[in-house]
Amino acid sequence: MEPFEVHILGCGSALPTTRHNASSQVIRIGNKQFMIDCGEGTQLQLRRGHIHFSFINHIFISHLHGDHCFGLIGLISTFSLLGRTAPLHIYADPMLERIMEPQLKYFCKEIKYPIFFHSIDAGKHAVIFEDNTITVESLPLAHRIPCCGFLFKEKPKKRHLLGDVANIYNIPAYMRQSIKEGADFTTPEGDLIPNSRLTREADPSRSYAYCSDTLPCPGNNSYIKGVDLLYHEATFAESEKERAAITHHSTARQAATIAKEAEAKKLVIGHYSSRYDDEQILLEEARAIFPDSYCATEGAIFRI
């Protein structure tokens, strides 16, 4: 199967620490790369992770707090210095374009590639990106300002043509696509070979959901039901539950409860408050509810 990977570039929260960078991830699906959030220092994290700058064409910004978007202007400038010509698509609250406009005008005069801002309505569950193999949906979250999560889903895949059977029947190349899509085959002699004898089941369509920053939002469970991997913020431990509620963040236990209720296959927690010197307590609290929980950390790659 083609790779479907989540590269963690930063999983800290608002206050910088020497242990965690501001939020950013790269989702690699096949030969495509998508970025989610772009806190300050993201471009350095890309360097450290040996991730190709030029393969990033789509950046999704969950919300307009600095730790999720202050790295954008530097990344855009660096793309330009590296000679980029391919368009860059940024999906965000429409305010982002207005805020960035004077910066782009001044700092990016010599830029040779177009930037397209796509407006997200953070309050809505909607398909915000689609290509031939994947869709990205917005997931309404509950934060202090408009904020949405993202659900990456592979589209249903084609069935696998059985190579030896295809040879026996001498199936011509031009027919192979339709057979992969479910068609039967009729031999030159007029025999109908049912698709089930020609193909085996398609690979499963995998999915990944990113939910940060937010209070727990069980309203999204139906959208993310059975998701292969859920990244959910867990800014606080249970002892800071009230603080989580006030600041519109989640505890590790709440993140795990969402994972359990949504029947996620795996949970990765992140967006740790700077108060934690290590995240063991968060991991333990998550695992008590949802055993298949893991801690995000800079440089980690989660494979789906």
Angle at 43 between CA 62 and CA 67, to 5 degrees: 35
Other residues' Cβ atoms within 10 Å of the Cβ of residue 120 = 24
Q: Which of 5, 32, 51, 70 binds its own copies (CB under 8 A)?
A: 70
Nearer to its own copies (CB atom), residue 37 or residue 40:
40
Q: Phi first, then psi: what are they for 202, rounded to 5°?
A: -65, 155
Q: Is the peptide bond before 213 cis (omega within 30 degrees of 0)?
A: yes
Residue placing its CB nearer to its own copies in the complex, 40 or 228? 40
- Residue number with CB closer to its own copies (81 or 288): 81
Q: Does 102 bind its own copies (CB under 8 A)?
A: yes
- Of 67, 93, 213, 228, which one is the catalytic site residue? 67
| 83 in contact with its own copies (CB under 8 A) | no
164 is catalytic: no
Examine residue 298 and tell whether it contacts its own copies (CB under 8 A): no
Query: Per CB under 8 A, which region of 25-33, 102-110, 265-273, 289-297 contacts its own copies?
Result: 102-110
Q: Is the dihedral of CA 159, 130, 49, 294 positive or negative?
A: negative
Q: Residue 14: which of 111, 103, 144 has the closest Cα?
A: 144
**Closest Cα partner for 252 from 265, 267, 263, 266?**
267
Instruction: Return the structure tokens found at 71.
Output: 């790295």
Can residue 95 be called a binding residue for its own copies (CB under 8 A)? yes
Q: Does 81 bind its own copies (CB under 8 A)?
A: yes
Stretch touching its own copies by CB under 8 A, among 12-20, 217-225, 276-284, 292-300: 12-20
Write down the residue that tokens 């800014």 correspond to: 235
* Terminal C-alpha separation, the chain: 10
**Contact stretch for its own copies (CB under 8 A) within 75-83, 131-139, 222-230, 281-289:** 75-83
Q: How far apart are CA 138 and CA 152, in angstroms?
A: 9
16 binds its own copies (CB under 8 A): yes
CA dist list (Å): 265 to 11, 38, 225, 233, 293: 21, 26, 10, 16, 9
- What does the alpha-carbon distance between residue 29 and residue 91 come to, in Å, rounded to a whole number? 18
Judged by CB under 8 A, does residue 98 bind its own copies?
A: yes
Q: How far is the CB of 98 from its own copies (least distance, A)?
A: 7
Does position 94 interact with its own copies (CB under 8 A)? The reply is: no
Q: Which residues 32-61 are close enough to bind its own copies by CB under 8 A?
A: 40-41, 43-44, 47-48
Residue 131, CA distances (Å) to 65, 155, 192, 214 in order: 28, 9, 34, 28
Of the pair 44, 183, the CB lying nearest its own copies is at: 44
- Pairing type for strands 160-161 and 229-233 reads unpaired
Q: Which is nearer to its own copies, 8 or 134 (CB)?
A: 8
- Per rule CB under 8 A, count of chain residues that contact its own copies: 32
- Residues near its own copies (CB under 8 A) are 14-18, 21-22, 40-41, 43-44, 47-48, 64-66, 70-71, 73-74, 77-78, 81-82, 95, 98-99, 101-103, 106-107
Q: Please list the active-site residues.
A: 67
